[in-house]
């Protein structure tokens, strides 16, 4: 049997690589197409307009929070505190209405300021004290979760709730605020955030600097890029989008539940990491994060329509995340 000459061997390797490149670039999108087809065949109601809108509505908060994680990943960081920040924001914005009878601007402003303080705290430990980002944001996650629970005294904050002195809360949630969590506004807010962050990261010098820092921090420093300033900005933006996610959640459910933002952490992390491989980006990006959130939303919605037990859904989401990470990091080797 004759051996392949160098040219044939190179072509054979190239063909194999091209196939992998195709799967790397379009695998997530193909998975979405296949899932839609499978779920539509099992239940035709899956592709009805109302259900598709419901999927977009259900992924809005996940996408917004995941966009913040995406920005922290762009500077090679990782923010695990976003779920707790969303919970804190959720509690503050509702309490401003119900406990203190504040207007919409004051309520939203208060929630955002409190969340940005968490971003400042994260930045201080990561940049000044050199604590690894994953470790300090894990610690911050518990701290902020505890602050939110202490602030609400472990109770659900809602209109007409019973106060500690036995009286009823008299504050009302603004009708304007209520609209934020309704269709189409919740979807519009999500789309605007995805588009703005995509343009920022892809087409502005600041976004490119963040990618340079994430790729090679020493090269970024030698190039004169103010690394610390951009890392601070990344964690502030991560906290900001977590705050917006918590605010939109509050508008959607009209209450502040205990640890309301916690369940969104896993889905947001999964969406951000799945986005690495969308269209072969190989890096955190807003469009890929949105596609990752769509994939998760389709999975959740379709599995519910197929009557899969809710406690089994995390197995599926975890498997999808593991596959996405394997694909991404194999490519990055």
Let me know if residue 11 belongs to a domain: no
Nearest one of 287, 288, 317 to 300, comparing CA atoms = 317
On whether residue 79 sits in a domain, the answer given is: yes
End-to-end CA distance of the chain: 33
Angle at 321 between CA 320 and CA 325, to 5 degrees: 120
Write down the pLDDT at residue 1.
Answer: 46
Give the number of domains in the chain.
1
40: in domain: yes
Conformation bin of residue 160: beta by default, left when phi > 0, alpha when psi is -120 to 50 = left
pLDDT per residue over 237-267, tens digit each? 999 999 999 999 999 999 999 899 999 999 9
The domain of 116 spans: 26-332
Position 149 in a domain: yes
Answer yes or no: is 286 within a domain: yes
pLDDT at 329 exceeding the cut of 80: no
Q: Are 45 and 51 in contact (CB under 8 A)?
A: yes
Residue 1 lies in a domain: no
Q: Quick one: tokens of 71?
A: 């920005």
Q: Please list the residues that pair with 162 across neighbouring strands.
A: 168
pTM for the model stands at: 0.92
What is the mean predicted confidence (pLDDT) over 54-66? Answer: 97
pLDDT in the model for residue 106: 97
Tokens of 239: 């906290």
Question: Any idea what the CATH number is for the domain that residue 321 is in?
Answer: 1.10.3470
The predicted structure's pLDDT at residue 307: 87
pLDDT number for residue 23: 72
- Asked, for residue 2, whether it belongs to a domain, the answer is no
């Amino acid at each position: 049997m004759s051996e392949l000459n160098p040219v044939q061997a190179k072509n054979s390797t190239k063909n194999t690589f091209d196939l992998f490149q195709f799967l790397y670039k379009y695998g997530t999108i193909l998975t979405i197409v296949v899932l839609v087809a499978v779920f539509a065949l099992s239940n035709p109601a899956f592709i009805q307009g109302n259900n598709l809108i419901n999927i977009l509505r259900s992924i809005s908060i996940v996408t917004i929070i995941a966009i913040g994680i995406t920005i922290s990943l762009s500077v090679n960081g990782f923010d695990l505190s976003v779920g707790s920040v969303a919970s804190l924001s959720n509690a503050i914005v509702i309490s401003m209405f119900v406990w203190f009878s504040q207007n919409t601007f004051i309520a939203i402003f208060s929630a955002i300021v409190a969340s940005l303080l968490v971003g400042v705290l994260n930045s201080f430990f990561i940049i000044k004290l050199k604590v690894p980002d994953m470790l300090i944001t894990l610690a911050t996650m518990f701290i902020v979760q505890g602050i939110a629970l202490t602030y609400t005294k472990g109770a659900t904050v809602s209109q007409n709730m019973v106060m500690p002195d036995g009286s009823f809360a008299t504050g009302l949630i603004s009708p304007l605020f209520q609209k934020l969590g309704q269709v189409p506004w919740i979807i519009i807010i999500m789309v605007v955030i995805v588009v703005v962050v995509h343009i920022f990261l892809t087409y502005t010098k600041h976004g490119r600097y963040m990618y340079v820092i994430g790729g090679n921090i020493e090269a970024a420093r030698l190039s004169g890029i103010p690394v610390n300033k951009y890392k601070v900005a990344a964690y502030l933006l991560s906290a900001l989008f977590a705050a917006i996610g918590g605010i939109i959640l509050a508008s959607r459910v009209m209450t502040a539940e205990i640890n309301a933002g916690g369940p969104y952490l896993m889905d947001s992390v999964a969406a951000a990491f799945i986005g690495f491989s969308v269209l072969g980006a190989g890096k955190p990006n807003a469009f890929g994060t949105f596609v990752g959130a769509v994939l998760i939303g389709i999975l959740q919605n379709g599995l519910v329509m197929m009557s899969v037990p809710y406690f089994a859904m995390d197995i599926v989401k975890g498997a999808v995340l593991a596959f996405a990470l394997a694909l991404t990091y194999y490519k990055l080797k």
